[in-house]
Amino acid sequence: MKQIVVFFALVLFPFFGYSQGARNVYFPVDSFHLSNENVVLISDAISGMGPGDKIVFRVLIHDDAKNRPAINELDRKRSLELFDFFVAEGFPAGNIKVVKTPGREAKGFISDDMKNLLIYDLEVYKALPAVDFTVTDSPVLSDSANETYSFSAGVASTFKGNKGIEISIPAFSFEFKTGAPASGSVLLEVKEYLHPGEMAAAGLMTMNEEFPAHCGAIVWMRATSGGTELRLKKGKQLTLKLPSGLAPADPKLYIGQEGNGLVRWFPYDPAMAGQVDAGGTCSLSTPLLHWIACEGIDKKPDNGVLTVKTNVSYNVAIRLILKDEKTVMGAYMLPGTKDLGFSHIPVGKKAVLVAYGVKDGKMFFFSKEVVTQNDWKEKIQMKESTTEAIKTFLTGLDK
């Protein structure tokens, strides 16, 4: 009996120190569908990826196969199955490249008897943000409990969240990551973030790369059945309707990728059906149901700059909250210094500069009301506080 294997090796850009050995993931014989073992192994591999990382997945035949055209077609389907899996895991389609190579060109990798077979590689990239926010990845304040809704997979369902977001799901919309349809009870977990203060309290930002974004809402969702995570089927769409007045001008959808305690935002794949209408309703077909944001990006942002100095030795998260603009900006490390900074800031706006960090199990906090300027500097002095006091202060900004 011949075995079919997906071989993949981790390749990193040289400025990242993370590395991982190669693994083998086996497809069932004569099948192009991922098994549960496939899903677990591949999910583990991509969960360790950071911004800028690349993984190459290879569909490879170990033994000679006499019916080469049939094997080539089977491997082509396997590569497409992998492609769909990565899209379902939140990788933009443009970050997944399928490379087809004749076996005879894969020198030293394939036997002479198999030179007429095709080799399918999938190169999977995790996008690198334009600005490195690594220094503000932690800490994140403790978050609120999930809202939970239970419904039958075979019944169209609509839910209205505690903060007003309405979620509509067609019947038979979900499947397991293996491609098996979900037919029983589904549990939907939801978190809603509608205002800058509560976004900041959850450690979130409303920036697209280094540019500020006016945010109507951020939603986190997860669907499970029997404790196993589900995804949307191809061709199925769910809709999110925002409470009145929350959709920003010229709104766009963004998908968030979470890593190191920070959510980074990427444009919703334009190849998929997705939009936000004038009434604040968005339809999306992306299988991933984790972080979704409705944002309006500043097309001509101002050039205000803020430099922040602090002498603390522990990591701090620093945010600039522009309440009226529904914007939460994140600080980044200024090149060649230990200072933090903000750029492309709208000028002449009332804002609140906040910083919070943890040292020796204790919470420290700083806040100051400011008016944004073309070029200014601030020095912050952290004072001991509590998590609840900080969250109360931040969410109180929305009142």
pLDDT number for residue 97 = 82
Q: What is the pLDDT of residue 64?
A: 46
Fold for 144-297, please state it.
Answer: Chondroitinase Ac; Chain A, domain 3 (2.60.220)
Please report the pLDDT score of residue 31 as a whole number: 83
Say whether the peptide bond before residue 139 is cis (omega within 30 degrees of 0): yes
Asked if 191 and 144 count as a contact pair (C-beta separation under 8 A), the reply is yes
User: Parallel, antiparallel, or unpaired: how do β-strands 304-309 and 375-379 relate?
Assistant: parallel
Residue ranges in the chain modelled with pLDDT below 70 = 1-26, 50-52, 60-67, 103-116, 127-140, 142, 208-210, 259-262, 269-275, 286-288, 299-301
Can you say whether the dihedral through the CA atoms of 388, 394, 398, 399 is positive or negative? positive
With left for phi above 0 and alpha for psi between -120 and 50, is residue 347 left, alpha or beta?
beta
Instruction: Give dist(CA 61, CA 74) in Å, integer.
Output: 11
Confidence at residue 113, expressed as pLDDT on a 0 to 100 scale: 60
Question: What is the per-residue pLDDT for 294?
Answer: 86
Q: What angle do CA 213, 316, 134 make, to 5 degrees?
A: 60
pLDDT for res 134: 42
What is the pLDDT at residue 310?
A: 85
Q: Residue 117 has what pLDDT?
A: 75
| Domain 4-125 listed as CATH 3.30.1330 | yes
Q: Where are the domains of the chain?
A: 4-125, 144-297, 304-396
pLDDT of residue 131: 40
Please tell me the predicted confidence (pLDDT) of residue 187: 96
Tally helices (H) and strands (E) across the chain. 4, 28
Three-state DSSP at 272 gives coil
Contact between 356 and 175 (Cβ < 8 Å): no
Cα gap 171→182, rounded to integer Å: 10
Count CB atoms within 10 A of the CB of residue 67: 9
What topology does CATH give the domain 304-396? Immunoglobulin-like (2.60.40)
